[in-house]
Amino acid sequence: MAAQPGLQPEPDYTFKILLVGDSGVGKSSLLLRFATGGFEELVPTIGVDFKAKVVQLGGKTVKLTIWDTAGQERFRTLTSSYYRGAQGIILVYDVTRAETFDSLADIWLREVDMYNTVDECIKMVVANKTDLAEQREVSTDVGVQFARAHGCLFVETSAKGNVAVEQAFEELVLKILETPSLLASSSSTFGLKAKQPEAASSCCG
Partner 1 sequence: MVRKGGPRRPRGSRDEETVRAVNRLLVERPLDITQLRKVAAIRGLVSDSLRARVWPVLLGVEAPLAGEGTTFAARAAAGHKDSNVVACDVERSLWSFTEGWSEEERAAKRAALRRVLDAAVGGNASGVFYYQGLHDIAAVLLFVLGSELAAYRTLRALASTHLRDCTRPDLGAATETLSLLYPILEQCDPELYGYLQGLQEPALEVPYFALSWYMTWFAHDVPSLGQIARLFDLFLSSHPLMPLYVAAVAIKGNRQQVLACGADGLAAYDTLKRMRFLQPGQPTADELAQQAAALYQAVPPAQLARQRGIQLEHSAAIDAYLSCGRWHVPAEPRAARRRFAQQTVLQLQALLRGQPSKAASKAVGVGTAAGSQRRAAVAAAVLTSVTGLAAMGALLLAQLQAGNWGPR
**Edge-to-edge strands of the sheet including 122-128?**
48-57, 60-69, 13-20, 88-94, 122-128, 153-156
If one asks whether residue 149 binds partner 1 (CB under 8 A), the answer comes out as: no
Closest CA to 158 of 136, 137, 130: 130
- Vertex 2, ends 70 and 37: CA angle to 5°? 70
Distance CA 102, CA 61 (A): 36
| Interface residue with partner 1, options 38, 56, 58, 78 (CB under 8 A) | 78
If one asks whether residue 202 binds partner 1 (CB under 8 A), the answer comes out as: yes
CB of 56 to partner 1, least distance (A): 21
Q: Burial, 69: exposed, middle or buried (Cβ in 10 Å; 0-12, 13-18, 19+)? A: buried
Count of residues in contact with partner 1, rule CB under 8 A: 36
CB of 153 to partner 1, least distance (A): 26
The stretch among 43-51, 102-110, 118-126, 153-161 that binds partner 1 (CB under 8 A) is 43-51
Q: How many residues does the chain have?
A: 205
Choice between 74 and 180, CB closer to partner 1:
74
If one asks whether residue 184 binds partner 1 (CB under 8 A), the answer comes out as: no
If one asks whether residue 77 binds partner 1 (CB under 8 A), the answer comes out as: yes
Report 3-22 residues binding partner 1 (CB under 8 A).
Answer: none
The stretch among 40-48, 117-125, 135-143, 164-172 that binds partner 1 (CB under 8 A) is 40-48
Distance CA 129, CA 136 (A): 9
| Interface residue with partner 1, options 41, 119, 134, 141 (CB under 8 A) | 41
CB of 199 to partner 1, least distance (A): 7
Please, where are the H alpha helices in 48-164? 76-79, 98-103, 109-115, 140-149
If one asks whether residue 141 binds partner 1 (CB under 8 A), the answer comes out as: no
13-20 vs 48-57, strand pairing mode: unpaired
Residues that bind partner 1 (CB under 8 A): 1-2, 23-24, 41-50, 52, 65, 70-72, 74-75, 77-78, 99, 191-193, 195-196, 198-202, 204-205
